[in-house]
Amino acid sequence: MRARLGHLALTAAALGGFAFLFMPIVVIVVFSFNQPVGRFNLVWHSFTLENWLHPFARDDINATVWRSLRVAFVSMVAAGVMGTLVALALVRYRFRGGALVNLLLVLPLTTPEIVMGSSLALLFLDRGVERSFWTIAIAHTMFCVSFVAITVKARLRGFDWTLEDAAMDLGAGPWRTFSRITFPLILPGVLAAALLSFSLSIDDFIITSFVAGEGDTTFPLYVFGAFQRELAPQVNVISTALLLLSVGALAASVLYQRARLR
Amino acid sequence: MAERDGGHRRPNRGRLAPYGLLAPGIIWLTLFFLVPLASLARMSLSSKQSRFDFVPSFSWDWANYSDVFSLYGTQLARSFGFALAATVLCLLIGYPLAYWVAVHGGRWRNVLIGLVVVPFFTSFLLRTISWTVLLADNGTVVQAARWAGLLRVLRAAGLIDGDRLLDTPLAVIGGLTYNFLPFMILPIYVSLEKIDLRLLDAAADLYASGTSTLRRVVFPLSLPGVFAGSLLTFIPASGDFVNAAFLGGTRSRMIGNVVQDRFLVQLDYPGAAAISLLMMAIITSAVLLYAKLLGTAELA
């Protein structure tokens, strides 16, 4: 009887936790169908499909979304390559300084974003580097390298490296071994890490606010400013659409993996 | 010559190979993470000749540091207080959720833990703005809290003032809890998932009650997850300024708001640098102390 009650309480707590996580999401989705009165889409007025029929009605918002996508793509590719190489070195080789490398990878994760943002901004200021699209990409690549390296490293533990020896013994050259054996095997881990790095970059606000140039507003920077000026319902539409896209991508990858396992 | 290292490692062509692989990433992190920290340290010891002196000169000026305590002691203490409260709340909400998914999730485990991440595919700022809608004056949440007599309790605890939830310390703590909750849930889930469920049966067979199984078997095994989750919640929460900007009033400004204002609005670089570095020093000491308390030596 007591155990049953305990289980019931646990289930209730867990479901409550899920409800807490999803409450603001419900607000975002619902308000994408709102016809706001005034400049702020923060009070429910009446239902409309207008926003969804004209999701790209606002050129200023579109430009910031496009810029965010570009930054996220550039830093995903740069951090994906560099982070994967670091992970490969850490998992496959024993060398002096490995502990130091691990420490350097963890540090950006345990440093508050305002510290990284303000210090990078100072570096750019010191060296006379104009803040721009590229300074944002440099900053995002920096914190994504750590995330990619750590994620890929975790996935590569327990990987059977003798497969490479087997390929080499059968006469495959180093490049062929890498492209036919190593790369396909590490690919799922690398893709997961790349996806993580893309979503971290596209949503980053604090660091970006320090290193973005005057005219280089990303989507998060736009939303922050918009909270003071005006909040168009298109912001909700675009966010809901991005949410659906990423959930769809996630579901597709899960289904694909299940199908392959069968 | 190919030589084998440890039997299962591939032929090691030259000892330089790992360094070649490491070079791009490590150089990047050095140039854009470590070197900037040095710039920050240098700037924190520089002084401005006047308010409009935008190129402060280096002068071993420790005054910036003492200024932090005298001018922003309140905000500093408040930031760590809020972050601590949010971390505890995340643990209280996150642990049961992670436990439920890990133990009772069955074949839906992966889908359920995926659901934890889904909200985070929408903008962090927009989610925080949504809380202003949810907590709006005379909104459903406020009315329900008033009906349940919760507002009176919170007011007595000094977490809110008047009849509002918005623009209060409570709202900021709630926002921080919300925004960093997945960083608590995921590491705890990962450590719980590794536990062999048969251990629970074994404990029951040995006449351990549900609570003592939890206390003596499950919780100790999940400590690495609790440790990682607490750090991943506490550190970003203490440096955050978004939640305080959107959900807090003048009584809930955090140290992040001060740095942002000093740096981006007032252009007081030495002041902002001193606060940033001091914050990092405090966090690092707190992390080391916490690691000692929990007996977890490994960070990653």
- ipTM for the predicted complex: 0.89
In the predicted model, is pLDDT for residue B299 greater than 50? no
The better pLDDT of the pair A189, B38 is held by B38
Q: What is the location of CATH 1.10.3720.10 in chain B? A: 63-294
- State the average pLDDT over residues A141-169: 88
Token pair 């549900």: residue: B210
- Asked if pLDDT for residue A138 goes beyond 90, the answer is yes
> Quick one: pLDDT at residue B51?
64
| Res. B5: pLDDT tops 60 | no
Stretch B156-179: mean pLDDT, rounded? Answer: 90
**Chain B: nearest CA to A78, how far in angstroms?**
9
Out of A7-16, A69-78, B212-221, B234-243, which region has the weakest mean confidence (pLDDT)? B212-221
Which of residues B298 and B174 earns the better pLDDT score? B174
Least confident of A34-48, A223-237, B52-66: B52-66
CA-closest candidate to residue A178, choices A200, A157, A163: A163
What is the pLDDT at residue A224?
A: 92
pLDDT band at residue B80, thresholds of 50, 70 and 90? very high
Q: B274 pLDDT exceeds 80? A: yes
Strand partners, B57: B47
The residues in A 106-125 lying below 8 A from B, measured between CB atoms, are 106-116, 118-123, 125
Higher pLDDT, B156 or B181: B181
Q: What's residue A262's pLDDT?
A: 65
Percent share of chain B, pLDDT over 70: 91
**CA B136/CA A215 separation, integer angstroms:** 33
Say if residue A140's pLDDT is above 60: yes
Arithmetic mean of pLDDT, A103-124: 93
Rg (CA), chain A: 23
pLDDT grade, residue B173 (50/70/90)?
Answer: very high
> Per-residue pLDDT tens for A178-188?
888 888 888 88
Nearest CA of chain A to the CA of B295: how many Å?
A: 18
CA distance A146 to chain B (A): 8
Which residues on A lie below 8 Å from B270 (Cβ)? none
pLDDT, residue B1, reads 36
Residue B193 pLDDT exceeds 70: yes
Judged by CB atoms within 8 Å, which residues 218-237 of B form the interface with A? 231-232, 235-236
The residue that leads in pLDDT, A260 or B39, is B39
Do B244 and B252 form a contact (C-beta atoms < 8 A)? yes
Q: What is the pLDDT of residue A195?
A: 86
The answer to whether A144 and A83 are in contact (CB under 8 A) is yes
Of A6, A86, A162, the CB nearest to B26: A86
The CATH number of the structural domain formed by B63-294 is 1.10.3720.10
Q: Does A94 contact chain B (CB < 8 Å)? A: yes
Confidence band (pLDDT; 50, 70, 90) for A259?
Answer: confident
- Per-residue pLDDT of B88-121, as tens digits, reads 999 999 999 999 999 898 888 888 988 898 888 8
Residues of B in contact with A243 (CB under 8 A): 118, 121-122
Superfamily of domain A59-231: MetI-like (1.10.3720.10)
pLDDT of the residue at A1: 63
Interface probe for B, chosen from A84, A92, A116, A118 (most Cβ of B below 10 Å), is A118
* Residue type at A212 in one-letter notation: A
Residue B6 has pLDDT above 50, yes or no: no
Question: Positive or negative CA dihedral for A19, A24, A28, A34?
Answer: positive
Q: What is the pLDDT of residue A156?
A: 83
pLDDT reading at B42 higher than 70: yes
Mean pLDDT, rounded, of chain B: 87
A positions 133-172 inside 8 Å of B (CB): 138-139, 141-142, 145-146, 149-150, 160-162, 164-165, 168
The answer for B31, left when phi > 0, alpha when psi is -120 to 50, beta otherwise, is: alpha
Q: What is the pLDDT of residue B13?
A: 54
Residue-level pLDDT at B14: 58
| Angle ∠(B126,B130,B131) on CA atoms, nearest 5 | 125
**pLDDT exceeds 50 at position B83:** yes
Mean pLDDT value across chain A: 90
Which of B185, B183, B175 lies closest to B127 in space, CA to CA?
B175
pLDDT in tens, B282-291: 998 988 888 8
Asked if A207 reaches chain B (Cβ–Cβ under 8 Å), the answer is no
pLDDT top residue among B71 and A159:
B71
**Contacts with A102 from chain B: Cβ below 8 Å:** 300
- pLDDT of residue B7 exceeding 60, the answer is no
* Interchain proximity B104–A11, CB inside 8 Å: yes
Percent of chain A residues topping a pLDDT of 70:
98
Write the pLDDT tens digit of every residue in A37-66. Answer: 888 888 888 899 989 998 888 888 999 999
- Domain borders along chain A are 59-231
